[in-house]
Every structure is written in C-alpha cells, then in structure tokens.
Chain A
Amino acid sequence: MALTKDQQLLSKIATNDRHGENSPYFDGWKAYDNNPYHPINNREGVIQMGLAENQLCFDLIQKWIRRNPKASICTAEGVHEFKNIAIFQDYHGFKEFRQAVANFMGKARGGRVTFDPNRIVMSGGATGANETVMFCLANPGDAFLVPSPCYPAFDRDCGWRTGVQLIPVNCDSSNNFLITKAALEAAYERAQQDNINVKGLIMANPSNPLGTVLDRDTLRSLVSFVNEKKIHLVSDEIYAASVFSTPSFISVSEIIEEMECDRDLIHIVYSLSKDMGLPGFRVGIVYSYNDAVVNCGRKMSSFGLVSSQTQHLLASMLSDDEFVDNFLKENSERLAKRHSLFTKGLEKVGITCLKSNAGLFVWMDLRRLLKEQTLESEMTLWRVIISEVKLNVSPGSSFHCSEPGWFRVCFANMDDDTVEVALERIRIFVEKQQVKSKRKFQSNLKLSFTSRRYDESVMSPHMMSPRSPLVRA
C-alpha cells in the first residue's frame, strides 16, 4: 500500500491495518450508519444486530440512580464529595470501588468464589484490559492461541500495539464447536514448528460469538494444558453475568480452587460493558493471580484509568447488595425471554441456531442458504442480508470461523417491537429464498407456474410441502 506523503511522517502502527477497521465486518456498520432503523422515523432502515450491547435493564439502573442522588457528585446531595473525587488520580483506584467490583464479580459467579479487591486493576474498557494483559505477558512477536470462532477485535486488542500474534485453534460444528485437546495440541505443535513462541491461550467464556459456556471438563483440560506447557491462560469473562439458562457458568477462578495449578498463569479480564449494559462508562478490569502482572498492569492503568466520578458512582451501586441481587436475577430473566422470543421466531421459518445459554446474541446457522459451502458464498449471502433484508448481522468469517454459513445476530440492543420487525424481515427473506429455489425446482420439472401471485399464496409457511428440500424436519 503506497503511503501518501502525509502518512510517510507516521509510524507503522498508525499506517498498518491491524486495527481491523477495513475488514468486511465493518461494512455492515457503515450500512447501518448510513441508514439506521428508527421505529417511527425510519422503519425501512437497517436494524443493528451486529452490536453486542445490553439495553434490556436500563430501567433498573436508571431507577437506582434516581433513588440514590448521593452517588452522583453533581447533585445537591453529592456535591460535598466533589473535591476528594475530582483530585483522585491514584492508579490503585478507590478502595470502595475495587471492593464493590470484587463483590459484583463474586455474585456473578453465584458466590462460589471470592475476589480479592487488591488484585483488581483498572483499564480502558475490556478493550484496554485485553491489551494491558498482553503487554504484561508477551513480547512483540510472541503468540497466543485463541479458540475460534472468536471475537473479531481480539486481533486489534491483543496485537495491534503489542506486536503479539493470535493463532486460531479451529472449532467446528461437528462437536458443537467444543475446544478439543487434540486441536490445542495441534495448534501448539504447528506453532513450535514455525518457530513461533507461544506465550499463552486467550479465550472468552461465555463465548463470543457462540453464546455457550465451557463445561467443567473442557475448563479442566485447558488448565492442565497451560500448566503442562507453562503458558498463560487469559479468560475473558465479560459475559459472566449474562447467562440465562442452564448449564450454569463456571469460571476459571473456580477451577483453580479444585485442581493443581500454577496460579501465576491465570488471568481474568472483565468489564461492566456487557453484564451491566454500561459500555459508555469505560470500566475494564484485569484480575490476575500473578503479582508481577498486577503490579505492572496497575502502572499501565494510567493509560486507561476509570474516571473517579464513575468509580464513585459504581462503588455505591455495586455495594448495594439488594440492587445487585435483583439486577442479576432480572437481567437473566429478561435475556432468557428475549432469547426465546428470537430463537422461536427463527425456528418458525426453519432457521436454527447453536444451542446457547449466554451472551447477547445467537449463532445462527444459515449453511443451507449458501449456494456453495465457501467463504465467497457466505459473503454473498451476507451482502444480500444487509442490502435486501436490511439487517446488520455479522458473518462467521469475521470471527475466523472455518466453517462458512454461520452468522452472529445480537438481540439485546433493541425493544420487543424491533425484534418482531427483524423476525418479519427474516420470514419474508426465507420465503423468497424458498420461492426462488422452488421455482428452480419446478422449472427443472418443466412445469410452468409463472404467476408470481399464485406462487406466493402457495408458498405460505404453513403450507410448505414436507418434501421441499428447504424444510427442516
């Protein structure tokens, strides 16, 4: 890529592509930005289903804030604290804030494990947390294994400024995308042969984009694996409190209590952006069992400290046990309801998703709608979904999924009406696809039902012929 004269004055980091924003993943966002859906003003716009944001529990937080004016320093009740808060820039963070976050993290894991407030290190959102952990654990050129499909921005967060490379460990639908020991070993061996220094394994649990939680056996085998190879394990548990049905979430912090493990290898990344729906607050947490990492990470937090005003507000909110218990319960229930509404709606038109019980999205299986099981087909289908169905969903390839045809669809950043609109659009789209293929089928039989209106009335969902290749049993 030829650099302009302007760009020649800049660094490699500023001019390379590792920020990832040129990937097709973001084309959908651009389509949304150009034509955003609005329930009243723009019902034909693109519905944003590519952003994993939780807007289901805003009312609970809003209510709490209104009821606790003291926690806001701009209120008459809270302003006397202003001085102490405004001047506070210690990178340790307020003790009350750390205690409240540790408390919340413990509750999100059902109280089965407690967290030490002195190991809580702040960062600029989970984005900053992942980067900080990498800066602390790896040198430029080192690598981390990452089970894929994985969060697209891991590459940017873990590697852009740190120089760390991510090596995917492919998982596929043959075993519901479970991470197998064989796959891990294979990826590790391949890296060794290529002279790449593997420093650790990073994973998201609950998984983004799968929406599943890791079972106890898989977690134990991951912990054994990293102990055996003497590499680090970074567990991004940002969706820990966004689990809405069984099986329950098991954190790596629980596993290390039950088995032999070198704790210096274990690090957790957390944030309030998903579980509490507060991405605007920019609260990222690095929780490490390794003292050197805590020490180093804490000094690095100067590059992404949480605003003291935000710390103060959250310290108050998250130490309100009654609020937190209720919030966690309500959040789970609302997510379960929304998930059910959405998946059932999809099932009605014959679309299935990977069975999931966590996260703010579903992993939708559209493999049968692909012309061929290739990346190009997936991209073609995706562009159709953006431009014709007008939904911004995220194609599996942007998550480094080796199997084409999977799409991540977020459902928690909209109200029920919008969900219905989205489902309706999907219904119409699937019907159209069936008409097209039925037409093809029929034209192959040399029948000539050319009247479109006739086709449409025949092909209503409830009257689909059971022999149609498109109907799932």
Chain B
Amino acid sequence: MTRPRPRTNESESETRNPTGGGATAMRLIVPLQGVVQGRGGLILGTLIPCALFYFFQLYLKRHRSPKPGSNPTSPSQSSSNLSDLQRSSSRSNLSSRGSIGPVQVSSRASSIAKPNDSPYYIGLDRVSEDPYDRLDNPNGVIQLGLSENRLCFDLIEKWLSENTKDSVMGRDGVDLSISGIAPYQPSDGLMEFKVAMAGFMSQVMGRAVSFDPSQMVLTAGATPALEILCFCLADPGNAFLVPTPYYPGFDRDMRWRTGVELIPVHCRSTDNFIISITALDQAFNQTRKRGIKVRGILISNPSNPVGNLLPRETLYNLLDFAREKNIHIVSDEIFAGSMYGSEEFVSMAEILDMEDIDKNRIHIVYGLSKDLALPGFRVGVIYSFNESVLVAAKKLTRFSSISAPTQRLLISMVSDTRFIQEYIETNKKRIREMHDLFVEGLKQLGIKCAQSCAGLYCWADMSGLISSYSEKGELELWDKLLNIAKINVTPGSACHCIEPGWFRCCFTTLSQEDVVIVIERIRKVAETCKISS
C-alpha cells in the first residue's frame, strides 16, 4: 500500500529541471545529423556526448535519495556526522508501516536517540560526569566549553539584597497579590518587561540605537527565539547560509525540528574570520544549483566562537547582498553586552536606523543568558522590523513563553539604569582581565589567539600542536586535552571551521587560580605533542 509522498523541495526542483528527456533527444539528433552530413564537424561530435554525460550526472545527483541518519563508523568525529541530527526524510520510514517490530517513534526521535557524536556535546557530558572542584575534586575535568559568565554574580546578589522583596509576588517592597504572576499572561511577554528589555538592549549597546518594545517578542531563551524565527522564515528543505566557524548549537536549534538546512560559508584566519561577500555569493549560487532555496543568512555578532565584531562595512555589504537576493538576515547579538575591547559594537538595528528602506528582512535575536549571566531564567528576544513576522512569532510564543514570576523579578532589575551601567562597566573590566590573563598564559605556550574583543571565550590556534594538519589531528588533540589534560574545550570542527587546529576556550567560569592550573595542564599536553611530532 503506498502512502501519499509528502511534497519536498526535491520534487519541486524536479519539475523546474529544464532538461526533459525529449529536449535532450532533439539536441542529440539534430547536431549529429550535421556531423554525419559533414556540417558541424568533429567538435559537435565531441560536445554532444559530453553535454549528455553532464546532464546525466545532474539528473542522477538530483534524484539521489537523502541519506538516512547513519551511525558513523570511523572514530574521527567529522562534521558530516552532525548530519545525523538532520531531519531524515519521512520516506525512510515507509518500511515501518505494518511491521511487527518495536513501535516506531518519529524520525526526529530516532535520529536523536543515538548518543551525541559532536565533540561539543561529548565534552559537556564528560564534565558533568567528573566536574572539577578546587577542593572536592581537584583532578576533575575543568569546564572551558560552556560560554557562561560567573564573574559578576556578586553585583547581582548585592542588588537583590538591596532591593529585597517579601516574596516572589512583591514589587519594590510592596507585596502584590498572586494575581500578578499566577494567571495567564500575554504569551509574548508582559509589556512592562518588553519596555524594560528595550531600554536594557539600548543601554548595553552603548545607546547608539533605541529599540521599540512593540517590535519585540519575548521567548523562553534565545534557543526558541532562533527556532521560532526559523519556522517563520523558512520551509522544510530551505536553507540558511551561516559563516563559519559558528556556534555548534545552531545545528540543533535551527535544523532539528524545522527541517531547514544550514550551509556553511567558510571564513579564514587571514581575514580574521570575517565573512567575505564573494564567499557568500559562491555559497549562495552553489546552494541554488543544488536546487535548494536559500531563505536567509544567520550571523552572530559579536561572533561566537571567534569573539570579533563585524565591521560597519561588512554589515552594509550583507544588507546589500540580502536585498539583491531577496533573503533575510538573522543577527544573533546575544553577546553585545559582553564587550571587553576598545572597538565599537554596531548592531544591525543601528545600520537600519540610518537606512530608510527595506527593513522587512532584518531580525535580531537577543537574550539575558550571556550579558546578564542569567541562563536559568530563560529570557530571549526576537526583535524584528517585519510586522508579519512579529504577528506569526507572537503566536508561536505559546510554546515558549517566559515564566511570569521571572518577568516580574527582572523588570525592576533591568530597568535600574544606574545599576546596569555599573554592571556593564565592571563586567567589561573583569572579562578583560580574565581574557588577558588567559591569552597571555597561552602565549607563553606558543599558542596564539585570534583578535577578539567580545564574548566569554578566546579562539586559540593550537595547530602547532597537532600531529597532522587535518580534522583527524585536531580531534586527536581534543581527545588528549579532554582525557589527559582534563579540560573541556570546543574543537573548531564542531564549529565547522575549515582550518584545523582552532579551539574555543571559555574563561569566564574560571577564577584566576584556575587559569594557572588550566595553562599548566595544557603545557603538559603541549610538551608531549612536541615530543611526538
């Protein structure tokens, strides 16, 4: 019994393929007649078979069935293994109907049921099994793979103790009733909280731009914010272009349930990993040739994992590119308030302030997990200039709303501009101190880092320590660092970096003493690498 095949982009591209069987035949016959009769000559006689061969390959390529999620056989964690996170075609489940085997779950569930192969997740798991503690577990694995900021909790605790309430229902010392937090609230966030967040975003971005609360949709963290935007802007099978290296979580957040593809656009250390429009254009065209529709570009600015800023010029170029191709730009600006360098952060919103046209394709994602170090509270923002996107996103927040008591708690904190200013400045100072200490420590070992001025991590070039200049070599080093040095860092391949040997090291969960220990552990491994190479 056959099932109606779900329409996929592949079948759509089939009908768009101009080379039907009949046309090919005519192209063969007519010139060949010429060759046979002496006209057209040898050239056509060679060209025709070559053309046919080319079209035959194209036909085969378009009709290749999608790879079902397969178990990787090699120990090498190549980035193509991340494809088992990809939504496999529902056609692969045809055989399951009417089977007497174990009951089927969805293909999404089956693909994720296999243990995570990405080093990003493996490392996180290892730390939770054997977490380092200076007193209780000094030989444990030190976490440098999670970009969390523990440097400024004292400031927040101080603010809280100066602004205590009698309970979670309270506001400014006055106890409200529970009706402020218990009943149903607007799913896209309380207006008061949106106003507070708009002011906060403006403040952390140096007041260079102001945000309109009515263009905001609040979500339970930046993770659903990205997914919701993806659901709004792309259909299953469409693609987003993403400059590499990029945050490993994008692969799951943007692709898993949406069925959208992420196409890497490789950036190089020679450009300090800043995206070039040429590379973007190439990637766009190649993707289109494969019959996949590109819906937008996803950038993170400040960048994760490199920690640099996109210059104004690049932002303008991206905007022009997006206009030309009629696609969206999603700008993940979640680290905007974690700047420690002297450069000036320019938000997409600032660029649009000056330009007056076509803002409908620009969407900004933000959250409080990094800048205010409150990942547990689940506060994310979608900021869009597109009314239709806001309308759709608002409806989708029913699946991911921020808890009402949390919103109430944060309204007064986030609106306290004096406190936030102090926080931003102190945070900047402390991140810079930690950064300088850590980067200097690595420098002593001969490990250089990319130029960075933002984020909670550095992007270290350990290619000098790897045995073979390849992904395999990089992952061998990663394995040594994890299991011998017992530090969890994120290898560049998990971030889809095209150059082997780069590692992201988050240092804002460490104390100054910890940094010394980490550098020492790396030194030991570095020495063994130098001996063996």
Which residues of A pack against B, CB within 8 Å?
A: 4, 6-7, 9-15, 19, 21, 51, 53, 55, 58, 61-62, 65-66, 69, 71-76, 79-80, 82-83, 85-90, 124-125, 127-128, 131, 135-142, 156, 161, 163, 195, 197, 199, 230-232, 262, 264-265, 277-282, 290, 292-293, 295-296, 299-300, 302-310, 313
Contact = CB atoms under 8 A, between A and B. Distances in A.
Interface stretch (B56-64, B158-166, B283-291, B475-483): B158-166
B401 interface: yes
A79 B130 CA distance: 28
B214 interface: no
B157 A65 contact: no
Given A10-B392, A280-B404, A307 B378 contact: yes
Contacts of B105: 136-137, 290, 292-293, 296
Contacts of B424: none
B398 A127 contact: yes
A14 B159 CA distance: 41
25 contacts: A6-B388, A13-B392, A62-B177, A62-B178, A72-B168, A83-B157, A86-B153, A89-B376, A127-B399, A128-B398, A136-B108, A141-B4, A142-B106, A280-B404, A281-B403, A293-B109, A302-B221, A303-B223, A303-B257, A303-B399, A304-B399, A308-B378, A309-B168, A309-B377, A310-B405
A66 B182 contact: no
B234 interface: yes
Contact of A88 (B160, B220, B376): B376
A87 B148 contact: yes
Contacts of B369: 89
A15 B105 CA distance: 29
Contacts of B353: none
B376 A265 contact: no
Contacts of A62: 169, 177-178
B255 to A, nearest CB: 13
Interface string B100-122: 10111111111011000000000
A89 B375 contact: yes
B181 interface: yes
A278 B182 contact: yes
Nearest to B2: A195
B160 A79 contact: yes
A280 B232 contact: no
A24 B488 CA distance: 55
A420 B376 CA distance: 44
B126 interface: no
Given A10-B388, A51-B184, 10 more contacts: A13-B232, A72-B167, A90-B128, A128-B399, A230-B100, A232-B103, A293-B105, A296-B113, A302-B252, A310-B406
A388 B26 CA distance: 74
B392 A69 contact: no
B377 A308 contact: yes
Nearest to A16: B392
Contacts of B137: none
A6 B175 CA distance: 45
Contacts of A305: 220-221, 378
B183 interface: yes
Contacts of A86: 153, 156, 373-377
Contacts of A12: 235
Nearest to A304: B400
Nearest to B121: A299
For chain B, the bracket of interface size reads: 35 or more
A244 B128 CA distance: 44
Interface of B: 1-4, 6, 90, 93, 97, 100, 102-110, 112-113, 128, 148, 150, 153, 156-157, 160-161, 163-170, 175, 177-179, 181-185, 220-221, 223-224, 227, 231-236, 238, 252-253, 257, 295, 326, 328, 360-361, 369, 373-378, 386-389, 392, 395-396, 398-406, 409
Contacts of B103: 230-232, 262, 264-265, 290
Nearest to A130: B399
Contacts of B90: 139-141
B376 A75 contact: no
Contacts of A7: 388
Contacts of B388: 4, 6-7, 9-10, 14-15
B232 A11 contact: yes
A310 B90 CA distance: 37
A164 B487 CA distance: 44
Contact of A292 (B110, B181, B252): B110
A276 to B, nearest CB: 9
Closest 7 A/B residue pairs (Cβ): A308-B376, A280-B404, A14-B392, A72-B168, A307-B403, A296-B109, A89-B375
Nearest to B387: A6
Contacts of A89: 221, 369, 375-376, 378
B257 A197 contact: no
A6 to B, nearest CB: 5
Given A280-B405, A310-B403, A83 B167 contact: no
